[in-house]
Chain A
Amino acid sequence: MPHGVERRARTQLRSGRLSAERVGRLERPALLGVLMREVINFSSYWRSTTFSATVEPTIYLLAFGFGFGSLVSTVGGYDYVEFVGTGTVATAVLFSSAFAAMFGTFIKYKFQRTYDAILAAPVDTEELATAEALWIALRAGVYGCVPLLVAIVFGLDPSWGMLLVPFFGIVAGFGWACFGILASAIATSIENFNYIISAGLTPLFLVAGTFFPLTQLPEWAQTLAQLNPLYHLVQLVRHAAFGFDGWADVGHVAVLVAFALLMWRLAIWRLEKRLVD
């Protein structure tokens, strides 16, 4: 039956094209190449990055921990320094991922034209965005631990659960890095980031249960905060330090993973639109 033959041929064609697309997607050598570029570059700027990633959360911790801590001794059953010390882990992850990705990506494609050079090599946009986000996520996972270490110096008791904190930081950091890449791919000028920072990141950063528990907020704000990935990271870090909460924490991890996957695909989509005419 000619109709059936034609349909079979069409299916074959489609599956053939699909497999051709699949071959060579997210290849390890391509990811490695982009990662190595970042690693080699990191050797030229690690001091300043590490300085700001360490000093910034420490200042938050000291200012809020001692400033507020002298007014309120316990919050939600925790010593306030411990409450803020665990909360600022999320802040450190956000700062070292979203901002690095936003500004770094913009500078690399717009001013340094680094991405032109990389895409002329056997690397596709998907691999470029993925490797860049992976690198930033790794850094965020490491830098995210700094506030915890500072808090330990100021009296937070170490616990085994804390060993999971870098991994939570990597997952959330990957999501925020992809968010930053997405933002920079949409932005037409570096001034556009003002909107994203003021209207997006600042509220998310404040309404995450970092400095005060969300239970102080009106109910609608509490509901909205459930959509904030940073809130879920704060919860996970606190539970890692003070004891896990079973399925609730599985839920928090699931939200972070979903956020990371969604941002990853969106970042690739927009970056490709930006880089390939």
Chain B
Amino acid sequence: MTAPLAIRLRGVVKRFGPITAVDGLDLDVPEGACVGLLGPNGAGKSTTMKMLTAQAIADEGELTVLGHTLPGASKQARAECGVVPQLDNLDVTLTVEQNLLVFAFLYRLGRGERRPAVERALEIAKLGDRRDTRVDKLSGGMRRRLLIARALVHRPRLVLLDEPTVGLDPQVRQELWALIDRLRSEGTSILMSTHYIEEAERLADSVTIMSHGRAVATGAPQALITEHAGREAVEVYGPPPKLAEAEAAARAAGLATRRTGTSVAVLRINGDAPEGERRPANLEDVFVLLTGEEIA
């Protein structure tokens, strides 16, 4: 009936002292799908990622990864997962090739499998001609590519990407998107946390939006947009009093609004709309609507 799940979380709670970082989270990643975990800073994305590798242990709830129940069978799950951390943790004094070889050992590849696996990863990272370069001599983009390729040496069934393109310029980001898209087309299951809306919109089959440790919406990006923000939005520009006026008028008419910083976007319009610039509604509208305009 439904596809088997690569990741299944039910009612997961994680507290750090008085703070509840994850507060009853449900999350599904179907096998072969790319799921985006979207949310503002502090929504609990990174804690969720850490729980999936048992580097944080949930206080409550059920976690299953590739059929293994966590945290008890976490090691078996980790053997079949590839993890791309948010913060670069490559061995900087080692060469590109040595970094990959270390992971071929850590992921228990056999004697005859290690060389071909390293070659394949070099090809994925497009770093074949840099194999003997020390990591601290690589550019930021190359290091990120290596970090991703390192997570793939053992051909994992599931890849966890924690903010894969944070802090990178657009060219490098596009390069990484191509890499992730290739992975997806090969049938690898992917869970990707991000706060770049465009990243989720482009790559994810399904998106879960997190706020304050819970999932507040789940669905395909386009379906979420239609459901929460409608088809089109109108951006009203002007001085602050005019924006406040437009906001009040739209709300009175039963329309949703959100501030963009320079304008007020009126959402879920149908028929009579205020004057302004029309544009298709997007995932960012949904994101702000659901997670709030102000940052806690």
Contacts and interface: CB of A to CB of B under 8 A. Distances in A.
Interface of A: 20, 24, 29-30, 32-34, 36-37, 40-41, 44-45, 112-114, 116-124, 275-277
Interface of B: 14, 16, 47, 50, 53-57, 72, 75-76, 78-79, 81, 83, 85, 87, 89, 91-94, 98, 101-103, 105-108
Contacts of B93: 41, 44-45
| Chain B CB within 10 A, most for which of A41, A45, A117 | A117
A-B CB proximity, top 7 nearest: A113-B89, A33-B106, A120-B83, A277-B56, A122-B79, A121-B106, A36-B105
Nearest to A121: B106
B15 to A, nearest CB: 10
> In the complex, which of the residues B55, B57, B107 has the most CB atoms of chain A within 10 Å of its own CB atom?
B55
Contacts of A37: 91, 102, 105-106
B107 A122 contact: yes
A114 to B, nearest CB: 6
A20 B89 contact: no
Contacts of A36: 102, 105
Most buried by B among A41, A119, A121: A121
A124 B53 CA distance: 11
Contact of B98 (A40, A122, A124, A277): A40
Given A33-B105, A40-B102, A122-B76, A277 B83 contact: no
Nearest to A113: B89
B55 A116 contact: yes
Given A122-B78, A276-B57, A44 B108 contact: no
B107 A121 contact: yes
A36 B100 CA distance: 12
Contacts of A123: 75, 106
A24 B50 CA distance: 21
Contact of A277 (B55, B106, B108): B55
Contacts of A113: 85, 87, 89
